[in-house]
């Protein structure tokens, strides 16, 4: 076998394996995860996460090219202090979408026409052929989505206490009258 054929087979195999991956949702932090101490006042966002879902292909598996769509997110906001504890509010929003690789992919349709001309110029026979290729761009049809929000959850943490949110730890370092010192780990 030639090297080019082996390379093409390897690429085709990789694409086939990728097409077998299941659709999954990944949640990643939007706020920086720096182990440094930060300060927040009432209403400030202390943690924020965004979720992305794989676009399903025609076979119900994940998109071969790794394209995703917004699936919502989680926000933790500092509300204030009460009784020496910091009060936080967690809000989860879920975005449901009918987006697929087919609805989000534009299509380019080539059209080729061939023209043949035969005739004579004086007594000399002539003929010619012309080929024209044009392209029609059909934009992606798009998708619809709707958001649902769960009831916000309030919780309080004292100095030195922590809570896990979407795989990250929010640790309270100190609580002031109108601010909180915290760290996201």
Question: How many Cα atoms sit within 13 Å of 159 on the Cβ side?
Answer: 7
* Residues 7-24, mean pLDDT to the nearest whole number: 67
Report the Cα 122 to chain-centroid distance in Å: 67
pLDDT-wise least confident of 1-5, 78-82, 108-112: 1-5
CB atoms within 10 A of CB 68: 17
The pLDDT value given to residue 16: 57
Q: Residues 184, 34: contact at Cβ < 8 Å?
A: yes
- What ranges do the domains of the chain cover? 19-105+141-184
Rounded-to-integer distance, Cα 48 and Cα 33, Å: 10
Q: What is the pLDDT of residues 48-91, one digit of tens each?
A: 999 999 988 888 888 888 888 899 999 999 999 999 999 999 99
Residues 6+ apart with CB under 8 A from 171: 160, 161, 162, 182, 183, 184, 185
What secondary structure letter does DSSP report for 59? T
Q: Considering just the CA atoms, what is the radius of gyration of the chain in Å?
A: 29
Task: Give the predicted TM-score (pTM) of the model.
Answer: 0.69
CA distance between the termini of the chain: 52
Q: What is the pLDDT of residues 154-165, one digit of tens each?
A: 999 999 999 999
């Amino acid at each position: 076998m030639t090297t080019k054929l082996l390379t093409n087979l390897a690429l085709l195999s990789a694409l086939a394996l990728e097409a077998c991956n299941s659709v999954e949702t990944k949640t990643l932090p939007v706020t920086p995860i720096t182990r440094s101490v930060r300060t927040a006042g009432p209403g400030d966002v202390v943690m924020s996460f965004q979720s992305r879902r794989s676009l399903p292909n025609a076979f119900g598996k994940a998109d071969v090219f790794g394209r995703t769509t917004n699936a919502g997110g989680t926000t933790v906001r500092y509300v204030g202090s009460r009784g020496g504890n910091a009060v936080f509010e967690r809000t989860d929003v879920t975005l449901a979408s009918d987006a697929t690789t087919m609805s989000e992919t534009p299509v380019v349709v080539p059209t080729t026409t061939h023209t043949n001309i035969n005739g004579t110029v004086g007594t000399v026979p002539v003929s010619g052929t012309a080929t024209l290729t044009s392209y029609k761009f059909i934009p992606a049809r798009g998708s619809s989505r709707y958001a649902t929000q769960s009831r916000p959850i309030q919780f309080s943490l004292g100095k030195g206490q922590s809570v896990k949110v979407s795989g990250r730890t929010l640790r309270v370092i100190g609580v002031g009258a109108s601010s909180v010192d915290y760290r996201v780990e």
